[in-house]
Amino acid sequence: MKDVFFSLGSNIEPREKYLAAALSELNKNFKFISSSSLYSSSPVDDLAQSDFLNICCWYAVDLDDPFAILNIVKKIEDNIGRQKNPLRPKGPRTIDIDIILIENVNIKTPKLTVPHVSYLNRNFVALPLLELIKNVEKYSELKNKLLRVVSENSNQQVNIVGEPIHGFANKSFSENQE
């Protein structure tokens, strides 16, 4: 089994329900380890849209092919109603699931880059990820790196706005919407 860290974001209401639905779907495919508090962040790239709700989550995965993980993630995004607007590739989304790190994987292709190309520039990823690994001995180097980038990016407004999501396991999206 390998550790995989995902970053999840939503900026279309009900944002927390979309995040819970994504966790629930990820749980069906991978072994859940932990998920972070809820963080709020301002949009980057395409600025004319609502704030995001972000979390990071940690799973164990027994797939050797990182593209197999990406395919699962894309299916989950589709199931949760992610619509792609070609005119606004960085526009509003019900759910965005990015693969941040996969244990011992380093891959750089247009379809998949892991470690994620910009996770060290974005405190909405670095802060929740730090929360997950800060007391884990094998990630002490990652922790130091994250602490450094978090302080370098301290101009980014990223705040904790809620507790980790609980009770999402094995719920379908419609159940989550109730």
Known catalytic residues are: 82, 93, 96, 98
- Work out how close the CB of 97 gets to ligand ADP at its nearest, in angstroms, rounded to a whole number: 7
Window 76-105: contact mask with ligand ADP (x via CB under 6 A): --------------x-----x-xx------
Nearer to ligand ADP, 95 or 171 (CB): 95
CA count, 13 A, side-chain hemisphere, 89: 2
Cα(155)–Cα(5) distance, integer angstroms: 24
CB atoms within 10 A of CB 44: 13
Restricted to residues 99-118, the positions that interact with Mg ion (CB under 5 A) are none
- 55 is an interface residue for ligand ADP by CB under 6 A: no
Count Cβ atoms within 10 A of the Cβ of residue 157 and give its class: 0-12 exposed, 13-18 middle, 19 or more buried. exposed
Residues of the shown chain interacting with ligand ADP in the complex, contacts defined by CB under 6 A = 90, 96, 98-99, 111-114, 116
